[in-house]
Structure 1
């Protein structure tokens, strides 16, 4: 529905340059210490090739499972990030973390950055697992929560994404419209139409002059089964000069029909007619009667066809009423209606009238 509004991730890298004091505290071998410092200087000057070559040469000087190897691999990862070589960066950061020698805070930052890289590469499931682990260990920052929401939404796990997205908008009063659009869309996909309507109201409050927000709110209220609220929303939009046309309103009714909800469509059309947002002409009265019939609401369908037939005296309308009476076994009323249908009936209709009259008289005789 509205999911396409969610924008791509924008990476803001907190590149992790190791200060000399930290390296010294970790008792790094002098040769590796020098290589890391030289690579850092080269990277800062923009010479990524030199930084990469220096680090690659130092790999042979570091033992497997050592802090030296972890630091070299980590730095190679961030050099790859700077070069926008994200698959290589993912590989190097994974190797560095696998050594399990980095300081806890440093390793956490690496995992969070790795999650961003994985999301950029559309590896949403892996990114989500990393973020979930970090979230269990300590609360995520707002930006990281936003990233986890994006991952869940791209994976179609809306049940997990919605509560987190709600946290995002509650934590940031100035959250971009896209977050509310995302909440509307995900709630809609979950079939939570009333919840979607509540978030759509926020968008409407922010941009009351946009007709599409009024249409979308009315549509969601209709999907939620609140046809009176939908009609009231459309009336407010109409009175506010939002430029909603009769076609917009008819399309909203058609939306319910296409969704396989003729009863909801009939209730909405009835409300729109009552609000005088649509003219109560013959065509729409017929549409309403057809919708009640399709919804198998016989009482309302019967009343609608009777009102039409009495107003138009058309045999088509009398026969639609007669069909309901036939199904319900109202034989005496059926005979009266069939008599009214005679006037102006075609030959084919007269044949049907005679056939149904026979059913009615036979039923009455059998019951007497």
Structure 2
């Protein structure tokens, strides 16, 4: 008889335990009397346990609104004793569970906020509620509150790697880049093999936080995982340009091109421009010329100018001047003739300098007085003093070139008088 009674009592207690654990509440927290662990909440009365179990059954039966209303009512009427306050916290948790199942994350978060504010509840349980509240705030779109809760949670507990990445994402969505950088640093310390989404998040945070070297490393790690996305190659090249490594950007783009991932006219032009910026302009000039000859690149004035610019950067005088001559004759544009004249002037190729400046004036280029001065110098350097005089006299008519033109005319007069003196 006594043994049968003991068995029924054990079964009853196990039934209560099973139901309570289904609510996510541990044995140490809820069993009263001598079974309670040191960290558990105060022992609950049998009436409180029965009421909590009853609400739990209503919850699993899908009576969510009823659970919210009843649990909140009982929480509001709870006494001041520690056991009553512990029961109050559990009622609020049940109400939060019901609100969450009704897809009311903000309401559920508010209820958990009240529950974790009850000091009688064990610290470990309040930390669990803080975690749940933080994620509910996020689901409800309450990003500022979610970020603050994540920061508090991270300062008091050891978070999983996934939660660290989530913290980084929240701060990134709020454009709080320094905080996001802190979280992504913690996440990467705990995760040696982040997935592609996490790497993309890290790259974005590093860029926004001004950590461009770290961002480029992450983007290259993305390429190691999957090199089939052209956008990643573009992002990596742009980052190398931003941190002042154009040669590395050009090499990376070249690798993507050779693998057939970067292709098309736009990618070819970027490839050429990166080579020009990265110190290999001859490579750019050659690839552009080949593409034009094969019909892979539209034979336009703009593309021909790019070829000429590339040759000019190589310091190959002959090819550069030939390219600019061809462009100027093709477009007959004042600026193109000026570029030919300016390049030839700098290299002391006086006949082409004269032609370029004269044609630029003829086509209506700006600053005709200055163009006349440079044209006159080019003529003078070829030894055509009479012609140079005529050009400088025209330059005297413009305010911005009159003084210098006068000085050149004086120099030519001196040269002529010297030539006329008997030897």
Name the TM-score class by shorter chain.
Answer: 0.7 to 0.9
1:52 and 2:52 are equivalent in the alignment: no
Contact 2:240 2:246 in 1 (8 A): yes
> How far apart are the structure 1 equivalents of 2:183 and 2:54?
42
Task: Tell me what 1:18 maps to.
Answer: 25
**Which stretch has the larger CA shift, 42-51 or 229-238?**
42-51
Match of 1:150 among 150, 169, 174: 169
Confirm or deny: 8 A CA contact 1:290 1:301 kept in the other structure.
Answer: yes
- Give 4+ residue runs of structure 1 displaced > 6 Å after superposition: 288-292, 342-346
TM-score where L is the length of structure 1: 0.74
Give the distance between the partners of 1:290 and 1:117, measured in 2 at CA: 58
Alignment partner, residue 44 of structure 2: 28
Matched residue SS, 1:74: helix
Give the Cα separation in 1 of the matches to 2:267 and 2:245. 18
Task: Summarize the Cα distance change of 1:290–1:69 in structure 2 as closer, same or farther, 3 Å threshold.
Answer: same
What's the TM-score once normalised by structure 2's chain length?
0.65
The superposition leaves residues 17-39 of structure 1 with CA deviations (integer Å, 9 ceiling, x where unpaired) of 33566333513344333211211
Kindly state the Cα deviation for residue 117 of structure 1 after the two structures are TM-superposed.
0.8
CA apart distance, 1:250:
2.2
47-56 or 67-76, larger mean C-alpha shift: 47-56
> Match of 1:99, SS?
coil
The corresponding residue for 2:202 is 183
Distance 2:344 2:407 in 1: 13
Question: What is the count of residue pairs matched by the alignment?
Answer: 335
Relative CO higher for 1 or 2, CA cutoff 8 Å, sep ≥ 6?
1
- The correspondence for 2:212, drawn from 174, 193, 196, is 193
State the partner residue of 2:418: none
Q: CA deviation at 1:90?
A: 1.6
Q: Is residue 63 from structure 1 mapped to residue 63 from structure 2 by the alignment?
A: no
Change (3 A) 1:286 1:216: same
Residue 79 of structure 1 is matched in structure 2 by 98
Q: Which one is further off, 42-51 or 197-206?
A: 42-51
**2: CA distance between counterparts of 1:271 and 1:348?**
30
CA distance in 2, matches of 1:249, 1:269: 17
In the alignment, what sits opposite 1:278? 288
User: Structure 1 residue 309 and structure 2 residue 316: aligned?
Assistant: no
Return 5+ residue gaps in structure 2 as ranges: 1-20, 37-41, 293-300, 377-391, 393-400, 415-423
Contact map agreement 2:95 2:111 (CA 8 A) in 1: yes
Question: Superposition RMSD on alpha carbons, in Å?
Answer: 4.0
- 1:118 deviates by 0.9
- In structure 2, relative to structure 1, the CA distance for the partners of 1:174 and 1:348 (3 Å cut) is closer
CA distance in 2 between partners of 1:138 and 1:275 (Å)? 59
Q: Which residue of 1 aligns with 2:362?
A: 347
- Following superposition, the deviation at residue 366 of structure 1 comes to 6.7
Q: Judging changes above 3 Å, is the alpha-carbon distance between structure 1 residues 246 and 302 closer, same or farther for their aligned structure 2 residues?
A: closer
Give, in whole Å, the separation in 1 of the partners of 2:191 and 2:44: 42
1:1-368 mapped onto 2 (5 Å cutoff): 16-19=23-26, 22-23=29-30, 24=32, 25=36, 26-59=42-75, 61-63=77-79, 66-251=85-270, 267-268=277-278, 271=281, 273-274=283-284, 276-279=286-289, 283-284=302-303, 286-287=305-306, 308-313=320-325, 314=328, 317=336, 319-320=338-339, 322=341, 338-341=353-356, 347-348=362-363, 352=368, 353-354=371-372, 356=374, 357=376, 358=392, 359=401, 361-364=405-408
Shift of the alpha carbon at 1:109? 0.4
Q: Tell me how far apart the structure 1 counterparts of residues 128 and 192 of structure 2 sit (CA, whole Å).
A: 27
Higher mean alpha-carbon deviation, 97-106 vs 50-59, is at 50-59
Contact 1:285 1:304 in 2 (8 A): no
Q: Could you tell me how far apart the structure 1 residues matched to 2:22 and 2:136 are?
A: 13
